[in-house]
Amino acid sequence: MRKILLPVLMLSITFACSKSEDKQKKMIEEVMAVHDEVMPKMDEIMTLKGQLDSVAKVSPDSVKAKDLYVALDSADVKMSDWMSGYNPDAVKGKSEEEVLKYYEEEKNKIVKVKELTNTSIEEAKAFLKK
């Protein structure tokens, strides 16, 4: 009986650990996928900020141009803040629940950055087309 029970127990533990690692890997991939989608837009933000800065100096809509500049700058700062705060090493040795919670929180943060980035870019482009 022991000969059968021990291998079954070891297999169960191995499967449970593997499943946990798969969840963690999936969460990391989701977080990084959002990051990888947003990061290339930082160049576009810089370009739009330059255009808005120029427009703000000569346009009667300078207040609106400055507001849009601030929104773009905020998206840029929030991305930098997220990147400097993201630390996957912080969850090493933590429970599965703590690890998954960390990655869920990080995903929520980067999704908010994505939304702010997309909205500020869209509004700036619409303004500059006028």
pLDDT at 79: 97
pLDDT at 47: 97
- Please, where are the H alpha helices in the chain? 2-38, 41-58, 62-85, 96-129
Within-domain flag for 14: no
Q: Tell me the average confidence (pLDDT) per consecutive run of 10 residues in the chain, 130 residues long.
A: 52 54 90 96 96 89 93 97 94 91 96 98 94
Q: Which two tokens stand for residue 15?
A: 């499967």
Within-domain flag for 51: yes
What is the domain range of residue 42?
21-129
Within-domain flag for 9: no
Within 8 A by CB and 6+ apart from 92, the residues are none
pLDDT at 22: 85
Within-domain flag for 106: yes
Within-domain flag for 7: no
What pTM value is reported for the model?
Answer: 0.81
pLDDT at 10: 53
Within-domain flag for 108: yes
Within-domain flag for 77: yes
pLDDT at 39: 96
pLDDT at 61: 84
Q: Within 10 Å of residue 34's Cβ, how many Cβ atoms?
A: 19
- Residues 107/112/116/122 CA torsion (nearest 10 deg): 70
Tally of structural domains, the chain: 1
- Residues 33/112/42/46 CA torsion (nearest 10 deg): 170
